[in-house]
Amino acid sequence: MSEAQRVLVLGATSGIAQAVARVYAASGARLALVARSREHLSAVAADLAVRGAEVVLQRAADLCEIDRQRAVIAEAERALGGFDVVLVAHGVLPDQRACQEDPRRAIASWDVNFASAATLMEAAAERMVVAEDGVLGVLSSVAGDRGRADNYVYGAAKAALTTYASGLGQRLRGTGVTVVIIKPGPVDTPMMAGRKLPARLVADVDVVGRRIHRALERGERMLYVPGKWRWIMAVIRALPIRIFERMRF
Amino acid sequence: MVRQAAVERSDEVAGPESWGRYPRVAQEALPLAWVDDPLPSGVPVLPYGMGRSYGDSCLNADGPVLLTRRLRRFISFDADTGVLRAEAGTSLGEVTELVLGRGWMPPVLPGTQFVTLGGAVANDIHGKNHHRSGAFGRHVRALGLRRSDGSLATLHPGDPLFAATVAGLGLTGLIIWVEIQLERVPSGWVESQGIRFASLEEVEALDDASRDTHAHTVAWLDGLARGRALGRGVYFRGNPAEGAAPPPRRPSARNFPFEAPEFLLSPFLLRTFNALYDHLPRWKSRTSVWKFFHPLDALGRWNRLYGRRGFFQHQSVLPDMEGVRALLALTSTRGQAAFLTVLKRFGSLRSPGMLSFPRPGWTLAIDVPNRGEETLAYLDEMDAVVRTYGGAMYPAKDARMSADTFRLGYPRVDEFATFIDPAFRSRFWSRVMG
């Protein structure tokens, strides 16, 4: 019987993060949870505890406050006694049109989806490198693989995040720390609510959570989930730009 | 992601639907992510869980349904006392999966595990153990109810609003969490038996002999039988299995992938039934709770087998077997019924809801494919029989009963109506009370 996994979930109230954490909880993991809303965080923590987790930390914090990030990571590290897994999962799906019209909104969404996520990864990596161990997972998106008219404000931040994580992963080679870039397609979560998508394109969040858990445990470097998105996005990326521009998706 | 594909298939109606897929209407929906999410104002709403209500009690003609399925976090569970509290969108299957390995089970399980706790309360559902344990509402220790006036109340048995909310069809407000007392079980297995019977007299005798010795009883009738075969079927009974066998894994369902023409359905099922009936007069087996309690879940979305026009389920409760006999006689002359007909004797334990369906007597559930006007006329004739014999119809299954039929079966309707949240409405309620 191995020791309980020590897992930090940043953005623990996100739909996908909850699904991943449920899998860890069922195996008796020790969890540190960080999210903005204290009420929602405590609901998530109670659920995970009932499912078998030992929740050692619930911290209500705005992860966009760059100056607090290192303190939050340090607090979690103390509470857990080290990191086996850190999952950076916070994010928003901004209103594309509103962001086109209001640059402040666009920049605010980039702060959440790119800037704060990148600096958090860096802060976590710093601690994990010292321990020479751990898996650092980050939730990017297939939307970052190619900018589309519908959501390029979001996609641009995820593209930057993927690029950042890829560079970080290369830098950390040989340190014992593995970076796992996770690119979900559309998943049935609150973030996707209101988007008109056909049911068969929207993945079940529990299926996605189990798949991400497996990728983190195996240290897979790049995960498209569901897997079909790897091939769909390969085709979409390969389209010549003039053809791509004409396509209505 | 791909907008091209976002066009709904032409045979699909937008939004959530009811299990019988009748009435087929576009339904606006609003997903809730947290129990404190703001509710829309100025428009009537209705909670919607997993859509296993057959008729229109889970639909709202005048506004959105509130999708509760994401409110599925556990709040607390005491493995010593078996008290479990969870958000109202948690399914009974999820509860079973969590607690089975620790020696507990939900106190009442219906034919499907795909029912939310909120839905189980709002319909005061029943199971094969009704003669022992009564309806679901009897095992609810407390619940949290949000009302449109902004209030949030914790309700207990004995509170008038509790009695209105149990079997309240989601009309008294939004149930946000439910606390239930689970039932101790020695394992995740059931010692089950199937026994065939040739008549209603035989099944009554079987039930007389079994209700004190078996925790779970139910009968399947051959709904297509005629003449001398009328009333034949298979009686199932079971008891929790002793022993330290590891709990069975929760099976994953295969969804039925398309809408089948109905003519394929009946002959196939009929042959299956006949094979079972002729070759297995009596059998015993150790069955997992998943299979024993939720036989219908083996094929996900089986409602599609009834094709695009959908189907009805006519579920009534009748004080004695005479009413059952009359209903079956009518069914056999009309040729409307489909294969599956379920018969179960309720016990005398009182249901706590003002509008609870379970009451002493026999409940008969008949699946009826929708063939239009003739089907509706036949169902009205069925209702007349139910009224004649002093029975009642189950709102969770209904899409078309008359206001009179409803009122006759539910004498506390007017008292209940005073507890309805003014911002909550359903198609069912507007239809039977409008």
Q: What is the ipTM of this complex?
A: 0.94
Q: What is the mean pLDDT of residues B413-422?
A: 98
CB half-sphere exposure, A198, CA atoms < 13 A: 12
pLDDT at site B53: 96
Strands B104-105 and B65-67: unpaired
Question: Looking at the DSSP assignment, which residues form a beta bridge with residue A32?
Answer: A8, A57
Q: Give the gap in angstroms from C-alpha B77 to the nearest C-alpha of chain A.
A: 6
pLDDT at site B254: 60
Q: What's the structural domain count of chain A?
A: 1
What domains appear along chain B, each with residue ranges and CATH number? 189-400 (3.40.462)
pLDDT of B223 > 90? The answer is: no
Query: Does A126 map to a domain?
Result: yes
Which candidate, B327, B342, B305, B340, places its Cα nearest to that of B383? B327
Mutate to test the interface with A, among B10, B30, B73 (most CBs of A within 10 A): B73
pLDDT band (50, 70, 90) for residue B12: very low
The three-class DSSP label of residue B315 is strand
Does residue A154 carry a catalytic annotation? yes
- Rounded to an integer, what distance in angstroms lies between the CA atom of residue B155 and that of residue B162? 6
pLDDT band (50, 70, 90) for residue B265: low
Strands B46-48 and B65-67: parallel
The burial of B299, by beta-carbon neighbours within 10 Å (0-12 exposed, 13-18 middle, 19 or more buried), is given as middle
For B170: left if phi > 0, alpha if psi spans -120 to 50, otherwise beta; the answer is: left
pLDDT at site B376: 95
pLDDT band (50, 70, 90) for residue B4: very low
pLDDT at site B100: 95
Q: A47 and B73: CB-CB below 8 Å?
A: yes
Of the candidates B3, B70, B75, the beta carbon closest to that of A46 is on B75
pLDDT at site B249: 87
At residue B243's C-alpha, the angle toward residues B240 and B248, to 5°, is 70
Query: Does A1 map to a domain?
Result: no
What is the average pLDDT score of chain B? 90
Locus of tokens 């979930």: A9
The three-class DSSP label of residue B114 is coil
Binned average pLDDT, 10 residues per bin, chain A of 249 residues: 86 98 98 98 98 98 95 98 98 95 97 98 97 97 95 97 98 97 93 74 93 97 96 95 87
pLDDT band (50, 70, 90) for residue B9: very low
At B157-199, the pLDDT tens digits run 999 999 999 999 999 999 999 999 999 999 999 999 999 999 9
pLDDT band (50, 70, 90) for residue B334: confident
pLDDT at site B255: 64
Locus of tokens 């009302």: B147
Over pLDDT 90: what percentage of chain B? 73
Q: A193 and B31: CB-CB below 8 Å?
A: yes
pLDDT at site B428: 98
At B340-382, the pLDDT tens digits run 789 999 999 999 999 999 999 999 999 998 989 999 999 999 9
The three-class DSSP label of residue B120 is helix
CATH of the domain at A32: 3.40.50.720
A-proximal residues of B, 47-106, CB under 8 Å: 70, 73-77, 87, 98
pLDDT at site B298: 75
At B13-33, the pLDDT tens digits run 468 999 999 998 899 999 999
Of the candidates B8, B35, B70, the beta carbon closest to that of A190 is on B70
H or E stretch at B140: strand B140-146
Question: Looking at the DSSP assignment, which residues form a beta bridge with residue A7?
Answer: A31, A85
pLDDT of B424 > 80? The answer is: yes
Q: Give the gap in angstroms from C-alpha B298 to the nearest C-alpha of chain A.
A: 19
At residue B23's C-alpha, the angle toward residues B20 and B24, to 5°, is 95
Query: Does A70 map to a domain?
Result: yes
Query: Does A91 map to a domain?
Result: yes
The burial of A163, by beta-carbon neighbours within 10 Å (0-12 exposed, 13-18 middle, 19 or more buried), is given as middle
Which candidate, A66, A56, A182, places its Cα nearest to that of A122? A66
pLDDT at site B3: 30
Residue of A nearest to B77 (CA): A50
pTM of the prediction?
0.93
Structural domain boundaries, residue A54:
6-246
**In chain B, how long is the greatest CA-to-CA distance?**
61
Q: A249 and B3: CB-CB below 8 Å?
A: yes
pLDDT band (50, 70, 90) for residue B230: confident
pLDDT band (50, 70, 90) for residue B262: low
Q: Give the gap in angstroms from C-alpha B256 to the nearest C-alpha of chain A.
A: 14
- For A97, the token pair is 């049109």
Distances (CA, A) of B256 to A93, B51, B64, B170, B298: 33, 16, 27, 29, 10
Give B346-351 contacts, CB < 8 A, sequence gap 24+.
Answer: B346/B126, B346/B130, B346/B131, B346/B317, B347/B130, B347/B131, B347/B132, B347/B134, B347/B211, B349/B130, B349/B133, B349/B134, B349/B135, B349/B138, B350/B134, B350/B138, B351/B124, B351/B134, B351/B135, B351/B137, B351/B138, B351/B166, B351/B167
3 state SS for chain A: CCCCCEEEEECCCCHHHHHHHHHHHHCCCEEEEEECCHHHHHHHHHHHHHCCCEEEEEEECCCCCHHHHHHHHHHHHHHHCCCCEEEECCCCCCCHHHHHHCHHHHHHHHHHHHHHHHHHHHHHHHHHHHHCCEEEEEECCHHHCCCCCCCHHHHHHHHHHHHHHHHHHHHCCCCCEEEEEEEECCECCHHHCCCCCCHHHCECHHHHHHHHHHHHHHCCCEEEECCHHHHHHHHHHHCCHHHHHHCCC
- Rounded to an integer, what distance in angstroms lies between the CA atom of residue A49 and that of residue B86? 12
Of the candidates B4, B31, B35, the beta carbon closest to that of A190 is on B31
pLDDT at site B258: 62
pLDDT at site A151: 93
Query: Does A101 map to a domain?
Result: yes
